[in-house]
């Protein structure tokens, strides 16, 4: 019987919830280096849940310098089966004002300075990213958001830019012409790596500002973003408690993420060295050690 375990990747303030008891900080090493910070293991209504601050506690890691591979590997080591990303984004549409949440179902990856795969050395795998988020986990997120009385949009396209600078006006207008909904700096390659690790992934984006395309918001101000971010975080804490309680009800045993590596690895068995198989043990040991 599979034990389903949920992890939240997001800001360090999301786990400051009084009801989270029996807190334990876990320090892990991975073949890809160290994750962003120690991972918090805690319980809510007797359910185990993990929290990983993406930028480290105190927000000291730039988006381009996040060790995404180590983060995903570490969570997989802990037996995590489901990840919900909670992240701040800018809005590319008039009807997505600051304070609104978006359950993202598509990404446009515009990053270029990040390691994007676990399968870079000797063993090659091609996983499908046509539908990068888990529909069943999105349903769980939607239920939690509704019960939290948060204004939200189901489905939306997230442009992931490199950063840490915000967009130019020309870039912002380009992304709007693509009909994208929000823009941020963190969900790629996170979503790709979660898929390679066969971990179901969902993204809840919290709008903090209109991107610079908006005539009244041509200069994105960090202090203003933080003000909305703190308000959003309070709402997100309520959502997360409901999500921890409900996510297992929505799990689909036929979710394509569950066994996606079965048809992804293309490298001939005789070309796979034990050194690389060992390195990939946490991520792909299920298929490589058969």
**CB 68 within 8 Å of CB 112:** no
Q: Kind and range of the H or E element at 206?
A: strand 200-210
According to DSSP, residue 3 is labeled P
- Coil, strand, or helix at residue 263? helix
Buried/exposed 60-85: b ≥16 CB within 10 Å, e otherwise: eeebeebbbbbbbbbbbbbebbbbbb
**CB 194 within 8 Å of CB 171:** no
According to DSSP, residue 130 is labeled S
Q: 209 an active-site residue? A: yes
Tokens of 274: 């034990």
Q: 16 an active-site residue? A: no
Q: How many CA atoms lie within 13 A of 238 on its CB side?
A: 12
**Catalytically annotated residue among 109, 209, 218, 262:** 209
**Catalytically annotated residue among 37, 82, 211, 234:** 211
The candidate with the shortest Cα–Cα distance to 248, out of 75, 74, 53, 45, is: 45
Largest pairwise CA distance in the chain: 60
**CB 99 within 8 Å of CB 207:** yes
Residue 90: beta bridge partners?
Answer: 183, 209
Region of 283 please: left (phi>0), alpha (psi -120 to 50) or beta.
Answer: alpha
**Catalytic annotation, residues:** 209, 211
């Amino acid at each position: 019987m599979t034990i389903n375990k949920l992890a939240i990747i997001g800001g360090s303030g999301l786990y400051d919830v009084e009801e989270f008891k029996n807190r334990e900080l876990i320090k892990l090493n991975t073949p890809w280096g160290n994750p962003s910070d120690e991972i918090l293991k805690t319980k809510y209504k007797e359910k185990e849940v993990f929290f990983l601050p993406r930028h480290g506690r105190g927000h000291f890691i730039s988006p381009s310098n996040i060790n995404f591979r180590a983060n995903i590997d570490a969570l997989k080591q802990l037996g995590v089966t489901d990840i919900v990303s909670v992240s701040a984004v800018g809005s590319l549409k008039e009807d997505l004002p600051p304070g609104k949440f978006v359950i993202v179902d598509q990404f446009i990856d515009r990053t270029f300075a990040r390691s994007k795969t676990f399968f870079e050395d000797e063993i090659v795998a091609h996983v499908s990213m046509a539908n990068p988020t888990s529909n069943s986990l999105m349903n769980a997120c939607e239920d939690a958001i509704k019960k939290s009385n948060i204004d939200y949009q189901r489905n939306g396209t997230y442009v992931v830019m490199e950063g840490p600078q915000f967009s130019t006006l020309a870039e912002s207008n380009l992304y709007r012409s693509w009909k994208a909904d929000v823009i941020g700096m963190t969900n790629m390659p996170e979503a790709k790596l979660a898929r390679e690790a066969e971990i179901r992934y969902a993204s809840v984006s919290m709008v903090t500002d209109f991107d610079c395309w908006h005539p009244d918001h041509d200069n994105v101000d960090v202090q203003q973003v933080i003000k909305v971010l703190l308000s959003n975080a309070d709402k997100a804490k309520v959502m997360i408690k409901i999500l921890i309680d409900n996510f297992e009800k929505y799990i689909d045993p036929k979710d394509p993420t569950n066994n996606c590596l079965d048809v992804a690895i293309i490298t001939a068995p005789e070309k796979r060295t034990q050194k690389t198989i060992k390195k990939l043990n946490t991520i792909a040991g299920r298929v490589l050690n058969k």
